[in-house]
Chains A and B, each alone.
Chain A
Amino acid sequence: AQSVTQLDSQVPVFEEAPVELRCNYSSSVSVYLFWYVQYPNQGLQLLLKYLSGSTLVESINGFEAEFNKSQTSFHLRKPSVHISDTAEYFCAAEGSQGNLIFGKGTKLSVKP
């Protein structure tokens, strides 16, 4: 079955600390992988995506994710978080019908 797993439902972290949000995908999904962010009462925004090429992808606001085929992972990292990074983060993969298969989400809470 096609699935995307986010192991942590909540990640509390202090401001300026590093953070890693974990994502694993089943080998039955494509290797088109995405991270979306959802701020409270808003829609989803694409943070970054891996389609091919370099296994390390970066976003404009300091997040990066590394595609690891052997571990079927696509973890999201940021070396120093801000209060404004508090949000829900969804990892997703392309399904067989061109749709998105989402993980259950990780709530990142950044504390001062």
Chain B
Amino acid sequence: DTEVTQTPKHLVMGMTNKKSLKCEQHMGHRAMYWYKQKAKKPPELMFVYSYEKLSINESVPSRFSPECPNSSLLNLHLHALQPEDSALYLCASSQPTGGTYEQYFGPGTRLTVT
């Protein structure tokens, strides 16, 4: 099983809402990533978890809160987002961090903030 799943596929939320994005992998990978991708742009790294510990936070605003409950799950909690946060949010995993290990990407959650 080389699949990374993400739910939901689409999400529309208001600026006062609280919502969560979920990512799951069962490949035994010990590194998991959140990326943000705007239209016609490359993915931008947001967070990296290595062995369930946050290892990289790319100066992401606190309205985005990641959580790694176990080695298979990665959540992204959203609160008080802005319209400019509308984007495709991609999750990825690898074994563990490091370029020699391929990152497997999920299909993404398309988020629209109204």
Contacts and interface: CB of A to CB of B under 8 A. Distances in A.
Interface of A: 30, 32, 34, 36, 41-46, 49, 51, 90, 93-94, 97-100, 102-105, 107
Query: Which one of B43, B92, B102, B108 has the highest number of Cβ atoms from chain A below 10 Å of its Cβ?
Result: B43
A99 B49 CA distance: 11
A46 B42 contact: no
Interface bin, chain B:
20 to 34
B97 interface: yes
Nearest to A52: B100
9 contacts: A36-B105, A42-B107, A44-B92, A51-B100, A93-B99, A94-B98, A98-B31, A98-B98, A102-B42
B29 to A, nearest CB: 13
Contacts of A34: 99
Interface of B: 4, 31, 33, 40-43, 45, 48, 55-56, 90, 92, 97-100, 102-108, 110
Contacts of B110: 41
A43 B106 contact: yes
A13 B44 CA distance: 28
A30 B100 CA distance: 10
A44 B99 contact: no
Contact of A46 (B56, B90, B102): B102
Nearest to A49: B102
Given A49-B102, A98-B97, A100-B103, A44 B48 contact: no
